[in-house]
Structure 1
């Protein structure tokens, strides 16, 4: 076999191909695939992120809508009552938030004219004046019991009604003329006199018999409801 000269070997090695290179087209193709995958993942993330945010906002808006509906219903109720008596007018601010059931019932009865012509049946000086029948739960009986004070909830010039289930015949009104804490277990306070304290005191000073009934008829001519005073 003939020997290959070194120069021939050198020429053969030069003719051998080097390592294969990746074409530019392939690089661009794979780069586009990566970009598309990135856009897909970003779009998916934004979709679910926006969906979660919208669900949270919808839930919040529903809650706020319910609250605003309740608040609007409260705001639609009259906030004040004017008791026009034979001695003058007594303006009362109604406690719509702290005693909503009593206020609702009071407003309903006012609209039906329940208190028109109602007399003050009991007047106890430095204690309370009571309009209505109130048989069996009279303020005079409470006064005679002399219960010990438990709190100062019932301040002077507070409007209340007796606790328990009411009917149109026994929904009575009480206006305290002094701090009377022993009425806490007897009355539901649902308002406060803001004008006309002098009228309350004038009624308080009338002459009464031994049963605390005024000797002259004093009553409520009518009650008007107001949003603002």
Structure 2
């Protein structure tokens, strides 16, 4: 049953790749994130996390990440975004994807990974940057991990600045670690093939 569900998810993602150009033949596509604090370029690894990369790029090309908030910042841990609009409302998202955390990539500083709920196969649009070496987020024989699917190629200083912003408890959402001053992801762009 699980194999059938995985095959169905891969087929759906393949069809989504046809509907929008996510450079399916590019093994290491790059995405530029224009934020209110500067630009970050991430290089994605389709060889290790093909489902996760296709999912992320589909959201990028559809414009899902444009004008969203980085809503969770914990110094020396993570900077997370991809799910809230500028009114602090959750954006609609597509079906969850299969967890590819066992791909050999580690949650080390400067990598990008998928956020999820406690259920291991619950990642949708939210992602995070590791701003510390977070091996405890990697899979082990006792638990699922969080799927890393790329790394920062340019803009580590921007990411470091984001990780250092002041945060507070957001009473509207009842979430901790919310930046006091908004960090906006203004636009995410899939860069042309190299």
TM-score by length of 1: 0.55
Give structure 2 stretches of 5+ with no counterpart. 1-22, 85-103, 139-143, 170-175
Q: What's the counterpart of residue 144 of structure 1?
A: none
Q: What residue ranges of structure 1 are gaps of 5+ in the alignment?
A: 1-72, 135-150
The aligned residue for residue 157 of structure 2 is 198
Larger radius of gyration: 1
Q: Is the CA contact 2:46–2:53 (under 8 Å) kept in the aligned structure 1? A: yes
- Contact 2:35–2:184 under 8 Å retained in 1: yes
In the alignment, the residues of structure 2 paired with residue 76 and residue 153 of structure 1 have an alpha-carbon distance, to the nearest angstrom, of 22
Counterparts of 1:132 and 1:100 in 2: how far apart (Å)?
19
Verify: 1:226 aligned to 2:191, yes or no.
yes
1:174 to 128, 152, 175: 128
Question: What SS does the corresponding residue of 2:162 show, helix, strand or coil?
Answer: helix
Aligned pairs for 1:52-67 within 5 A = none
Instruction: Confirm or deny that 1:107 pairs with 2:66.
Output: no
What SS class does the counterpart of residue 79 from structure 2 fall into? strand
> What is the alpha-carbon distance in structure 1 between the residues aligned to residue 36 and residue 166 of structure 2?
15
1:134-165 Cα shifts (integer Å, max 9, x gaps): 9xxxxxxxxxxxxxxxx992110100112524
**Matching residue of 1:129:** 79
Contact 2:108 2:132 in 1 (8 A): yes
Deviation at 1:125, TM superposition (A): 0.4
TM-score by length of 2: 0.65
C-alpha contact (below 8 Å) 2:112/2:149 kept by paired residues: yes
Q: CA deviation at 1:118?
A: 1.3
The structure that is strand-richer by fraction is: 2
1:88 aligned to which of 38, 41, 51:
38
Task: Give me the whole-angstrom Cα distance separating, in 1, the residues matched to 2:167 and 2:61.
Answer: 31
Q: Residue in 2 aligned with 1:183?
A: 137
The structure whose residues are more often helix, as a share, is 1
Please state if 1:212 is matched with 2:177: yes
Cα displacement (A) at 1:227? 3.8
| Per-residue Cα deviation, 1:16-72 (whole angstroms, up to 9, x for no partner) | xxxxxxxxxxxxxxxxxxxxxxxxxxxxxxxxxxxxxxxxxxxxxxxxxxxxxxxxx
**Structure 1 152/190 Cα, relative in aligned 2: closer, same or farther at 3 Å?**
closer
Q: Distance in 1 between matches of 2:190 and 2:24?
A: 14
With over 3 angstroms needed to count, the CA separation of the structure-2 counterparts of 1:186 and 1:119, relative to structure 1, is: farther
Q: CA deviation at 1:204?
A: 0.8
